Copies of this chain bind each other. A is one copy, B any other.
Amino acid sequence: MDVSVVIVLILVCWTCSISEVEMVKAESDVSDGLTLESVRDSLIRQEDSIVFSLIERARFPLNAPTYDPSYFSMPGSYGSLVELVVKQTEAVQAKAGRYENPKEHPFFPDDLPLSQVPPHKYPRVLNPAAVFVNVNKKIWDVYFNKLLPLFVAPGDDGNYASTAARDLECLQVLSRRIHYGKLVAEVKFRDEWKYYEPAIRARDKKTLMDLLTAPAVERAVKKRVAKKARILGQEVKVGDDIDENKGKYKVDPAVVSKFYGDWVIPLTKDVEVQYLLHRLD
């Protein structure tokens, strides 16, 4: 290319005043493959994982000693059995490199052992400040205090270790789904940075929340997770006609839908706003 053409092109770009944000956007689209479609597909797929994990937790009754700090004491540990199982299992997974993936967030990040495996090159999609957004304390609280009592049967069958392992699974899939808000926010920001940028600079959380909110989409999500709870939680029999409305479900579809509406969607949006506030750091 002729040098003069290059100079003209540079001047054209300059006069177009392509913002830094837009250049980052263009670069990212090429490099990391993040699209609204891929994010949406992942969120839809994660609904299945959440429903599966709740169904599997519901195999066990409440098993209250799992959550009772006075139930046992182990040298060097404190808290309840579920805390011990979650903390120590997270430590195993941390050594195996789980939390090197920016989509994974530990519930007990303090004193987590370092990864012992060679580093993997995960695509750099998010602003590095994303690492400071972690709402797992809130997820822990709503899972144990709001959700759990609504979908497990009362009772005690002694399987506290398995119960705690199932709780960990529920917590991890909920955490992954809710922190996916960072990717949702990133992709929305890239698509409509002109609207987001002024609100971020003004630290205007209300406008950000309004920009991020799509009531029709939220209604569709709530409807879909209820349907998933019906279909994935039915008793499948050989020879029967399929009738998703018949029979009992392993987890109450209304509970799953309400939990999504009351907690999963709002917490995801909290993550989105928190992430966006740091998007221009």
> Are A118's CB and B237's CB within 8 A?
no
Q: How far is the CA of A6 from the CA of B190 in the complex (A)?
A: 89
**In the assembled complex, which residues on chain B have CB atoms less than 8 Å from the CB atom of A10?**
none
User: Shortest beta-carbon distance, A41 to chain B, in Å?
Assistant: 10
A223 touches B242 (CB 8 A): no
* A62 contacts the other chain (CB 8 A): no
A104 at the interface (CB under 8 A from B): yes
Contact B158 A121 (CB under 8 A): yes
A234 touches B236 (CB 8 A): no
Residues of B contacting A81 with CB < 8 Å? Answer: 96, 117
Q: Which residues of B contact A158 (CB under 8 A)?
A: 101, 120-122
Distance in angstroms between the alpha carbons of A244 and B244 in the assembled complex? 11
The dominant DSSP class at the A interface is: helix
Q: With CB as the reference atom, state the residue of chain B lying closest to A46.
A: B59
Q: A158–B95 Cα gap in the complex (Å)?
A: 14
Verify A160–B227 contact, CB threshold 8 A.
Answer: no
Encoded as 1 (CB less than 8 Å from any B CB) or 0, chain A from 17 to 55 comes to 000000000000000000000000000010011001001
User: Which residues of A pack against B, CB within 8 Å?
Assistant: 45, 48-49, 52, 55-56, 59, 71-72, 74, 81, 84-85, 88-89, 92-98, 101, 104, 116-118, 120-122, 158-162, 164-165, 169, 220, 223-224, 227-228, 231-232, 234, 236-238, 242, 244, 250
Task: Report, nearest first, the 8 A-B pairs whose CB atoms are least far apart.
Answer: A120-B158, A96-B161, A98-B161, A88-B92, A52-B52, A74-B116, A224-B238, A72-B117
